Structure 1
Amino acid sequence: MLYPELFKQLEAVRWNMDKDIPWDAFDASLLSDDQARTIKMNAITEWAALPATEMFLRDNKDDSDFSAFMSVWFFEEQKHSLVLMEYLRRFRPDMVPTEDELHEVRFEFDPAPPLETLMLHFCGEIRLNHWYRRAAEWHTEPVIRAIYETLARDEARHGGAYLRYMKRAMLKFGDEARAAFAKVGVLMASARRTAQALHPTNLHVNVQLFPRDTIQSRLPDPEWLEHWLDKQIQFDSVWENKVVDRILHNMSLLMERSFASVQELNRYRKEMAAAVLSGGLKDEGALGASAAA
């Protein structure tokens, strides 16, 4: 099991909201209304760990190890929402999200293949780490800068934990896992070619609720994310390339094969898809021979 070890590792570096956030360093002159609104939207977005956890537990009923790890991931992600709300409660109480605004992002996600979902959230942690690092640079108020730096480190650690479960899945499922991870890796490393930000909170997850079936679409300001990325923290091509590089680097380590570009990863995806198909055909042939005998 990975859960006991991951619990110890994350427990050892867990930060304390009262002691590790420099609340006394707050400078009101360095916090604008627009900045406070983005903190509110981030707080609501982080609250979406609640429906994500419900999805993970539902779709991984046969995996008690991973489900147990969700107790740690869920706690730390909800703590992200909480510390952002605590910042607003202290310094901009008029911006604290209401309970109704938080509850609006709790809705059921359609069932999805667990391997693809695992890779999707691994990439999401990489992307969020970079978003928060950039947010920390953009903000000038020292307390919120420290908070975003703290959250960014958490997201990086969560990505590392997901990577451990991905390695375990490859041992168990072989080419099926490789194909699933490569498929989603190509998608998540291709954000430069899409009109929207590729992150789990911005993807459609419930066909019956479409188009209001993304986390971002259910925020008080559904247009906030693109504005935050493009106009405020200015997550430009340089930063996007950093995300792509990290995805490719980790996929190279995971697959023990170098991927210098998304195109190379896509070629590998096609190889793995063919291998899975070939394996399925062999299995069908063996079953047919057995039945004939």
Structure 2
Amino acid sequence: MLYPELFKSLEQVRWDMEKDIPWDQFDASKLTDEQAETIKMNAITEWSALPATEMFLRDNRGDSDFCAFMSVWFFEEQKHSLVLMEYLRRFRPDMVPTEAELHNVRFEFDPAPALETLMLHFCGEIRLNHWYRCASEWHTEPVIKHIYKTISQDEARHGGAYLRYMKKALNEVGDSARAAFAKIGVLMASARRTEKPLHPTNLHVNQALFPNDTVQSRLPDPDWLERWLDGQIKFDSEWEKKVVDRILHNLSLLFERTFESVQDLNRYRKEITTRMAGAQPA
């Protein structure tokens, strides 16, 4: 059971919103309207941890260990939304999200295979860690720079926790987990070949609500994410390479096989699916 150990390790590095955020260093001259709007959009996006947690608990009913860990993940993710809103409340109260805007990103996700979803969110944490690090560099106001750096470190730790559960799944179900993780890994490491950013909040999750069934589509400005990445924080090919390299590095450790490219990972995926097909009874 991983939950007790993960709870303890995350508790030891948990930051305090009042004591660990340097609110007194705020410099109003270094916060633009454009920057404040992006903070608002990120605060609303982080609020979608609520429906994601409801999805995790529903689709992992048979895994009490993982569901218990959700108590930690959910708390810390909602705290990210809260600290961004607190920043706006203190310094740009006109930009604080309304309760209706927050509630609009709470909608039901269709059931999905638990292992694929686990891998999807593992990659999402890696990507968000890099997005927030890049955002911290883009911002000029010292307090929000500190906040983005702080929450980026949380996302990295969450990715590490998900990786622990992925290792546990390999030990329990073997090739079924390998196939699921490799399949989603190929998808999430191929963002440069897609027209939109690959992150759980930007993927369709409710067929009945299509096309308004992504978190991003339900924001006050549905086109914000692409503009934030491409035109504002400049999340370029160099940053994207860091994301892909981190995904491939972790999967290399997980599968005990070196993957230097997405193509290497895809060949491994095909190897596993072929092996599984050969093991099926005629």
- What range is the shorter-chain TM-score in? over 0.9
**2:21: which partner in 1?**
21
**1:185: which partner in 2?**
185
Amino acid at match of 1:220: P
Deviation string, structure 1 residues 171-205 (Cα, Å, up to 9, x no partner): 00100000000000000000000000000000000
Q: Does 1:116 align with 2:123?
A: no
Amino acid at match of 2:184: V
User: What does 1:266-281 correspond to in 2, within 5 Å?
Assistant: 266-279=266-279, 281=280
What are the ranges of 5 or more consecutive residues in structure 1 without an aligned counterpart?
286-293
Structure 1: distance between partners of 2:276 and 2:25? 56
Q: How many Å apart are 1:275 and its aligned residue?
A: 1.7
Structure 1: distance between partners of 2:42 and 2:103? 14
SS of match in other structure, 2:239: helix
Amino acid at match of 2:213: D
SS of match in other structure, 1:220: coil
Structure 2: distance between partners of 1:277 and 1:243? 31
**1:258: which partner in 2?**
258
**2:169: which partner in 1?**
169
**1:8: which partner in 2?**
8
**2:80: which partner in 1?**
80
Structure 2: distance between partners of 1:231 and 1:277? 46
Q: Does 1:204 align with 2:204?
A: yes
Q: How many Å apart are 1:77 and its aligned residue?
A: 0.1
Structure 2: distance between partners of 1:274 and 1:106? 39
Structure 2: distance between partners of 1:276 and 1:30? 57
Amino acid at match of 2:220: P
Q: Does 1:36 align with 2:33?
A: no
Q: Does 1:135 align with 2:135?
A: yes
Q: How many Å apart are 1:277 and its aligned residue?
A: 1.9
Q: Does 1:147 align with 2:147?
A: yes
**2:195: which partner in 1?**
195
**2:89: which partner in 1?**
89
**2:50: which partner in 1?**
50
Structure 2: distance between partners of 1:208 and 1:173? 32
Structure 2: distance between partners of 1:115 and 1:63? 12
Structure 2: distance between partners of 1:24 and 1:57? 39
Identity of aligned residues (%): 79
Q: How many Å apart are 1:106 and its aligned residue?
A: 0.2
CA RMSD of aligned residues (A): 0.5
SS of match in other structure, 2:17: coil
**1:222: which partner in 2?**
222
Deviation string, structure 1 residues 2-36 (Cα, Å, up to 9, x no partner): 00000000000000000000000000000000000
**2:98: which partner in 1?**
98
**1:289: which partner in 2?**
none
Structure 2: distance between partners of 1:267 and 1:101? 43
User: What does 1:53-68 correspond to in 2, within 5 Å?
Assistant: 53-68=53-68
Between Structure 1 and Structure 2, how many residues are aligned? 282
Q: How many Å apart are 1:278 and its aligned residue?
A: 2.1
What are the ranges of 5 or more consecutive residues in structure 2 without an aligned counterpart?
none
Structure 1: distance between partners of 2:37 and 2:97? 10
TM-score when normalising by structure 2: 0.99
